[in-house]
Structure 1
Amino acid sequence: MWTRLSELPLLVVLIGLTGLLALLPAGYAVAVDQTALGRSFLYPALIILIGTTMLGIATAAFTPRDPARSHLAALVGAYVVLPVVMALPMKEAVPDTRFLNAWFEMVSSFTTTGATVYPPARLPDAVHLWRATVGWFGGFLTLLAGYAILAPLNLGGAEVATGRVPGRGVLGAGQMGRGADPSDRLTRFALQLFPIYAALTLALWVLLMIAGASGVTALIHAMGTLSTSGISGQTTLAASGAGYVGEALIFLFLIFAITRRAMPGTGLAENRRPLSGDPELRLAGLVLGTVTLILFLRHWVIADEAGFAVDEDQAVASLWGILFTTASFLTTTGYVGADWQTGAAWSGIGTPGLVLMALAIVGGGTITTAGGVKLLRVYALLRHGERELERIIHPNSLGHGGPEARRLRREGAQLAWVFFMLFAVSIAVTVTILSILRVGFEPALVLALSGLTTTGQLASLGAPQPIAYGDLSDAVKAVLCLAMIVGRLETLALLALILPVRGR
């Protein structure tokens, strides 16, 4: 069966999986005696599955000339086509909404952005579960694409480690036999990663329920954590009942968005090295420690100068709230700790939104579900800068660390800088378009970063005044959807698909 499925176009398989996933909220709605709502998911699911069967029959004999680039094109097409398909159950379940809003919601969920145009109380739990399921599916697709599609083509951050031209692939891959076939590789990684991804989600779900959260709330937050979508239902994380234990559990599971080496059972050769030596994990620890300390001392000093009474319990709560929220935004998850506002109330100053935007830009690890520039690219630029300073002091010195470290500092840093410039250009273009659509500069910048870093919660905390996605015009929503897709796919992957391939 797996062989037959691997022979179908990737986009057809993804559409079929979408239909199967719609059965989850349908079953939940029936279980809580919301039969009419369950039918709103069941009927579109059956239509999608029937349509997938017809597409599968029509495309069974399809054989692409370049399977690797065909899968890359299918990945791009997935972010264009699948949200439209996913919006069908959403539109049926929320009949008093427009299709554009349902499409925006699905693009946001599927790209793991987590932005929403609806107040939480307006949607029933089954619809929130559908949003979380779509985000969870999008996170798995991101993870699978990173291993099976982007990494073999030196994309998604893999180009920094290899130093090779993005989009070219590994030399000699065509002579590696059947094991190197893109379809076989995609199937193999899907069967390898999905049990791990599902088991981690299940483990966090059970632990959150043990901590005190209700079943559906715990499941939504578990899915939102593993996929880094940061989606919540009617009950926010702070009000879920899990308390500090729940936040601590989510904090621990965020490590899978910081480094792919933390993912158990993947069989990567680099996983045999100690996790403490992982450059992404060490850089994330440095960033979190520095930002948390600066924000905590900032609150402490201002509170002391203003004459506020210093409560030790409140100080400890503020410290944890800062640490949890900064880790959440560094991994582009976007969950806010219950005590994040404690520091602001304690010192009498506002939320440091600029810091959260900077953390989201840095982003999480390569080949993970996180967005942003990615930690490995930042690490390569830091190592390159360190080496340049050494050469200023000792011009004839030799770089240390072996050939891998030298490749990271030279070719890797060059490619990281190219991506950083493309990311900056994407921000500038998005802000310009939003400004043309009569959005103020500060809101336009926050919205652009929330879309390109796939951190939709920046709209609430990054701007001086919270931005409501539901109040935006249709044109602005369409631009933000495009920004989310570009931020999720990365500009280098889009350029590798568009530009002609030479020297292969």
Structure 2
Amino acid sequence: MINFKKISRVLGILLIINGLFMLLCLPFSFIDERPDDEIALIISGGITLVVGLGGWRFSLKATHRDLKKRDGYLIVVGGWLLMSFFGSLPYLLSGAIPNYADAFFETVSGFTTTGATVLTNIEGVDRGILFWRSLTQWIGGMGIIVLAIAILPFLGIGGMQLFVAEAPGISPDKLQPRIKETAKRLWFIYLGLTILECVLLMLGGMSFYDAINHSLTTMATGGFSTKNASAAHFDSPYIQYVLIIFMFLAGTNFTINYFFVKGKFKKIWLNEEFRTYVFLTGIFVLIVSTTVYFVTDSGAERSFRDALFQVVSVITTTGFVSADFTSWAPFITILFFIFMFMGASAGSTAGGVKIVRHVILMKNSFLELKRQLHPSAVIPVRLNNKAVSQDITFNVLAFIFIYIIVFCIGSLILASMGLDFLTAIGAVATSLGNIGPGLGTVGPVDNFAHLPGAAKWVLSFLMLMGRLELFTFLILLSPYFWQK
């Protein structure tokens, strides 16, 4: 039986956290001396806090039964939808994005760390509103649900079911026996890397405001920038290399980052997904940088830097832009389209399919040939020298199959709305993979403002489906979920 009172309690807590984060943006609006935007943030934060407190108060007499799987799925999906609904208020009330479809799209793009935008003049928007825009990505990066896990035990609510539903990847890898301690350590690493990146960017000449915004969105693999030209605005090798390093770290399983902090370097390299991540990134950078060097008049260092930046940006689903990769060569455009279906590591803030799923898929495909020759043999897929259970293998196959089906259906829907083929498949691929820049008229130097409202609603829900790894979202549409 679904425990609606406890669900209401958790959602109320999430909205309270959301409202407090909105009010944190006020100092930047005060600096800009734009009273309308200050009032918009105060009202938005106030409404969100009041509704959140109402949901929390409503459930004060909730039963002490622990959360179950169904409760966890409802909280995760409901939490993301509610946060997106209330998170769009600052855009609407300030007038920065007066259309609700656009405001919801921008908010979902933030919380899902996609980075697709409808803003055509980012630098003209109030700094408090832009900081909220960056903050939505930072909140969504690790998942506000995981943040709540760290405090739920104090409120008498167990959080394991939330972690199972929210954690990106095949299965959650607990760093400590208690889920609360896991969440705390994840956020400690996340916060620490964000602060470190901010300091390094400031040392490279960035203002504190630009540095903190880009640090928030880099560690979230989100890609929102305070500049119209994104990272290309900062034509500094130092700044771009700093962004590359932290994009790569954000795309790494946070368990690996934890091992790095603890000095357990042997464990890092024994991780098969991490080795594949490093290897594929290196190979693709070599291919792209060589092509860019010969098809453009850029020098060797600039070709390498642009290639490295864009490959890491797309593979990690960050979406920062230092150059228009669609202008390099048709071969490169196709290659980057393939990148949109990769994703970085499971257990990172990146979106997409994730490398570990591709590894399991490839291993299982090759082993299937061997099974055809030895039909009686039991030949399991092995990852990190351990046998992968059939349940996980089937889960991976089902995930990738459904991912492709959703991509095809989404592309057909957008094409039926009048979008050209390249724009339709590019917009769906980048939204479902939570990347940001797409192809066609939503490419790296364009945005999503010109798309029809219906297309933005479709893409918003594709972003949510991608961020919640399909199953979490789609399971609520299944009749099996609602059966007793």
Question: TM-score range, shorter-chain basis?
Answer: 0.7 to 0.9
Report 1:167-206 matches (<5 A).
185=179, 187-206=180-199
Q: Give the 5 Å matches for 1:147-226.
A: 148-149=160-161, 152=164, 156-159=168-171, 185=179, 187-226=180-219
Please say which of residues 327-336 and 395-404 is displaced more in the overlay: 395-404
Match of residue 25 from structure 1:
25
Pairs within 5 Å for 1:299-314: 299-300=292-293, 314=299
Deviations 1:421-452 (A, max 9, x none): 00001001111211222222221111111110
Q: Distance in 2 between matches of 1:82 and 1:501?
A: 23
How far apart, CA to CA, are the structure 2 residues paired with 1:240 and 1:302?
23
The residue type paired with residue 140 of structure 2 is: G
Q: Secondary structure at the match of 1:471?
A: coil
Structure 2 match to 1:139: 141
Counterpart residue identity of residue 275, structure 1: I
Cα shift at 1:76: 0.4
Give the structure-1-normalised TM-score: 0.81
Summarize the Cα distance change of 1:405–1:128 in structure 2 as closer, same or farther, 3 Å threshold: same
Tell me the residue number matched to 1:110.
111
Where does residue 360 of structure 2 map in the other structure? 380
In the alignment, what sits opposite 2:320? 335
SS at match of 1:114: coil
- Taking a change above 3 Å as real, the CA distance of residues 372 and 450 of structure 1, as seen in their structure-2 partners, is same
Task: Indicate the residue corresponding to 1:69 in structure 2.
Answer: 70
Residue of structure 2 equivalent to 1:3: none
**1:106 and 1:131 in contact (8 A); partners too:** yes
Distance in structure 2 (CA, Å) of the matches to 1:238 and 1:51: 37
CA contact (8 A) 2:221 2:250 kept: no
User: Does structure 1 retain, via aligned residues, the 8 Å contact 2:367–2:381?
Assistant: no
Q: Deviations over 1:440-488 (max 9, x none)?
A: 222111111111001121257975x965311111111111111111111
> Counterpart of 2:231 in 1: which secondary structure?
coil
Counterpart position of 2:279: 286
Conserved? CA contact 1:109–1:131, under 8 Å: yes
- Structure-1 residue corresponding to 2:79: 78
Shift of 1:390: 5.3
- Farther off after superposition, 468-477 or 352-361: 352-361
- Superposed displacement of residue 350, structure 1: 5.8
- Unaligned stretches of 5+ in structure 1? 1-5, 163-169, 171-178, 304-310
Structure 1 residue 137, shift from structure 2 partner: 0.8
- For the 8 Å contact 1:8–1:60, the answer to whether it is kept is no
Partner secondary structure for residue 470 of structure 1: coil
The 10-residue stretch of structure 1 (91-100 or 140-149) with the greater mean CA deviation from structure 2: 140-149
User: Which of 432, 451, 469 is the equivalent residue of 2:431?
Assistant: 451
Compared CA separation, residues 198 and 401, structure 1 to 2 (3 A): same
Distance in 2 (alpha carbons) for counterparts of 1:200 and 1:316:
27
Q: Percent identity?
A: 23
Matched, 1:257 2:251: yes
C-alpha change, 1:100 and 1:405, in structure 2 (3 Å) is same
Cα offsets for 1:158-177 (capped at 9, x unmatched): 25x99xxxxxxx9xxxxxxx
Q: Which residue of 2 aligns with 1:317?
A: 302
Whole-angstrom distance in 2 between the partners of 1:133 and 1:224: 8
Q: Secondary structure at the match of 1:500?
A: helix
1:491 maps to: 470
1:214-265 per-position Cα deviation (integer Å, ceiling 9, x unaligned): 1111111101111111010136453554722222222222223222223328
Aligned-partner residue type, residue 330 of structure 1: I
Distance, in Å, in 1 between the alignment partners of 2:28 and 2:479 is: 45
Please say if 1:366 is aligned against 2:346.
Answer: yes
What per-residue deviation string (whole Å, max 9, x for no partner) do you get for residues 354-388 of structure 1?
22221121101112211111111011112223434
Alignment counterpart, residue 129 of structure 1, candidates 128, 131, 137: 131
**How far apart in 1 are the matches of 2:241 and 2:308?**
10
Find the aligned partners of 1:154 and 1:103 in 2 and give their Cα distance.
21
Q: Distance in 2 between matches of 1:92 and 1:459?
A: 32
- Contact preservation (8 Å) 2:7, 2:75: no
Q: TM-score, normalised by structure 2?
A: 0.84
Q: CA RMSD in A?
A: 3.7
CA contact (8 A) 1:116 1:469 kept: yes
Worse overlay, 351-360 or 415-424? 351-360
Of residues 238-247 and 390-399 in structure 1, the stretch that sits farther from structure 2 once superposed is 390-399
Q: CA deviation at 1:317?
A: 1.5
Cα gap change, 1:243 to 1:149, in 2 (>3 Å): farther
- Residue 417 of structure 1 is aligned with which of 356, 379, 397? 397
Change (3 A) 1:462 1:409: farther
Distance, in Å, in 2 between the alignment partners of 1:409 and 1:243 is 47
Instruction: Tell me the alpha carbon deviations over residues 391-429 of structure 1, each in whole angstroms, 9 at most, x when there is no partner.
Output: 678889886997974633854333211111000010011
CA drift of 1:316 comes to 2.2
Q: Distance in 2 between matches of 1:209 and 1:242?
A: 15
Residue 427 of structure 1: aligned partner: 407
